[in-house]
Structure 1
């Protein structure tokens, strides 16, 4: 007999969805997802079935699609299917085939959910999947969130089979004589998760036959612990993360006072995309020289003397823009540099313009960001000055230093610290015949 009462109780206990809501079921054709479809049908829930054909197993992939299509027709529910060129996508994104399949399917599930008015997407993961996820996370390294594995509900994803073990599912499939298809890739140990499933967990179950129940309790404890930590972190975030214009300033002294330091700093920075390894680098670099920067995919942290400066990653930092001499305009991020020439030597005292002796230019010129050891002769001076010292004298904010474009001559000389000062060696003189004019817009 199908465990309909337990199924409904689990859904209600974890507030997965309301009885009158329409749910999209991700069905591969395997035991887990097929059982989930039958449970939904026998409970009278409204649902549709979505199936992804990743094209990775030739005839087997087509067999799975045909089976799931027939299942949807038998149950009398809508059927949604798509085909992916998974290996091509993996190559384009430079990720593993497994990761590519994951990215493709979740994006498509969400698209189908929105277009067809489904409230949530149901995944057929069960207790053993949760155990595998925790063990896999521990093997690879994880924060506290990785210890609770997969949760019954996260955003639009729900997992209504987490009250069942793989053994429970196998027993129900046999007793209810439910048809399914077997994915041959589940039997290979080429994948890390399969190694844990086929080799590690059986050994652990010899030590603890009630492994599923034990992990279920542990996972709940980990989830509760994370909730407590997040409450603490929320209070610390208000105290430590101080908004300052477009930046967030974090007192290094207050970071040092955190206990435990690494865990709390990681949780504070996690919403900005910083990994645990990068957070550790930041923590170990608090005594380093100012100017050191650390990056996440979306943000940057720069170490100042007494503060950490958190800002969005700058997308306008110059990346070797070449000027060949015949251009009239060059785009540098969101800024533009206009170029023109004059046969009449003249100049203006204007920071947004540089008036350069054209005969001294060696093309191609390059616009780039600052580099270690950069020096130039600021106009009005006769000796070299380190660019880093010039920035200090000009009170350029630390976070903005990498954003200042530097115009470089073909011989490597700095011609113009764009928007601030040009080099004295390239100024217009009485011997200048032609002036190259650069203007920052």
Structure 2
């Protein structure tokens, strides 16, 4: 296996040459085989061991085993201990998810603080098959069937091409010592049930099952690349991005023969999971929305609008004093006394300072707000009607701000000035207000 492993590294992982490598080592058979393999080759290695404190004294015996092996073989070793159960309870996640989060965060921290280039894990071909079957049993898209990636940023899994049988044979031939994890014998975990019951049956049906599975997964990975390429091309035709907001054109989207698949491909990275609700959104009325933990997908007329969650507090108010020259939050506004006026615009207005009552107030609009639009000779109009006339999206309405003097609207910021504060022939003091 050593020669095969060396050739595998030569053809697939030349990026490791001359690099400083950190080996994730539990003390189990797979990780100890990985350590032994790299000891036989010309690589600068270190060992990283996580004690998750999930198996009482066994966890500390694993830790001691790894520490003693590293010391006996003069390998730099890094050890950490986690209160995994407390972390899982605090963040309302499973123990397995908590352990994964904790260890990879620590691995990346070690890469930086100890100047390692890559972290390597001992996942092998049977682990890949088990992951495939777990995802298949739970229901998954194509990406869930493509298996464990050989490289994910600075995490590399160099043993995915090798079977459990090859690992075990190498361990016995080289008298490698390892620690047995007692939890691996229990079938209360889904992975263990698949490992102990389903995988042996599949291998019995076809002795070359693992090799056949590897070919199938290669085809699935190639298909996934095609899907991603097509997704990017169609995205450029359907989507438009403005800062942190993405607009999907529904007319163009619905012309696609399989638009649901494209939506899934585009939105999965934003944490959405209620896919049926998202697909229903396409045909629903304006104003309906679906949330992920950090994003909202909103139906607005002929668009789906994806934006970060920004819950609007209608009572949120900001006060502006008489001598204040600028505002930096929630908008960038500047206030300047001038002696004459230039052409006003949506972003610049000129008002009669003597008509203002300070402090001015900046707040979101409320239902029922009304104003006297500039140039309409004192006629009142509801702000909501203006928004409708201007064809503002629901997102744009939510993000609109109004500038008030006492209870009167001075300016629907960036949109329309109020008639009551306009400059007249008798005006002595002029205030220029500009949206940056």
* Fold agreement, TM-score > 0.5: yes
Q: Is the 8 A contact 2:371 2:383 kept in 1?
A: no
The offset of 1:52, in angstroms, is 0.3
CA deviations over 1:81-108 (Å, ceiling 9, x no partner): 1111111111111111111110000000
Provide the C-alpha distance between the structure 2 equivalents of 1:157 and 1:124, rounded to a whole number of angstroms.
11
The offset of 1:21, in angstroms, is 1.1
Which residue in 1 is equivalent to 2:11?
Answer: 13
CA deviations over 1:41-69 (Å, ceiling 9, x no partner): 01222110000011111110110000001
Q: Is the 8 A contact 1:303 1:309 kept in 2?
A: yes
Which residue in 2 is equivalent to 1:177?
Answer: 175
Q: How does 1:165-314 map to 2 (within 5 A)?
A: 165-244=163-242, 246-271=244-269, 273-275=270-272, 277-278=274-275, 280-311=276-307, 313-314=308-309
**Pair 229,394 (structure 1): closer, same or farther in 2 beyond 3 Å:** closer
Unpaired runs of 5+ residues, structure 2, are 318-328, 333-353, 373-380, 414-434
- The secondary structure found in structure 1 opposite 2:40 is helix
Q: Is the 8 A contact 1:354 1:416 kept in 2?
A: no
- The secondary structure found in structure 1 opposite 2:8 is helix
| Aligned counterpart for 2:93 among listed residues 95, 99, 114 | 95
Which residue in 2 is equivalent to 1:392?
Answer: 388
Matched, 1:76 2:74: yes
Which residue in 2 is equivalent to 1:318?
Answer: 312
Runs of 4+ in 1 over 6 A off after TM superposition: 320-323, 385-388, 415-419
**Pair 209,254 (structure 1): closer, same or farther in 2 beyond 3 Å:** same
The offset of 1:114, in angstroms, is 1.5
- The secondary structure found in structure 1 opposite 2:306 is strand
Which residue in 2 is equivalent to 1:36?
Answer: 34
**Pair 376,147 (structure 1): closer, same or farther in 2 beyond 3 Å:** same
CA RMSD of aligned residues (A): 3.7
- The secondary structure found in structure 1 opposite 2:15 is coil
CA deviations over 1:132-158 (Å, ceiling 9, x no partner): 111111122222111111021121111
Q: Is the 8 A contact 2:186 2:192 kept in 1?
A: yes
Which residue in 2 is equivalent to 1:86?
Answer: 84
Q: Is the 8 A contact 1:404 1:417 kept in 2?
A: no
Provide the C-alpha distance between the structure 1 equivalents of 2:203 and 2:134, rounded to a whole number of angstroms.
17
Q: Is the 8 A contact 2:370 2:383 kept in 1?
A: no
CA deviations over 1:312-358 (Å, ceiling 9, x no partner): x144x2358799xxxxxxxxx9579xxxxxxxxx98499x9569xxx
Provide the C-alpha distance between the structure 2 equivalents of 1:265 and 1:314, rounded to a whole number of angstroms.
19
Provide the C-alpha distance between the structure 1 equivalents of 2:314 and 2:85, rounded to a whole number of angstroms.
33
**Pair 60,379 (structure 1): closer, same or farther in 2 beyond 3 Å:** same
The offset of 1:164, in angstroms, is 1.4
Provide the C-alpha distance between the structure 2 equivalents of 1:60 and 1:404, rounded to a whole number of angstroms.
59
**Pair 38,418 (structure 1): closer, same or farther in 2 beyond 3 Å:** farther
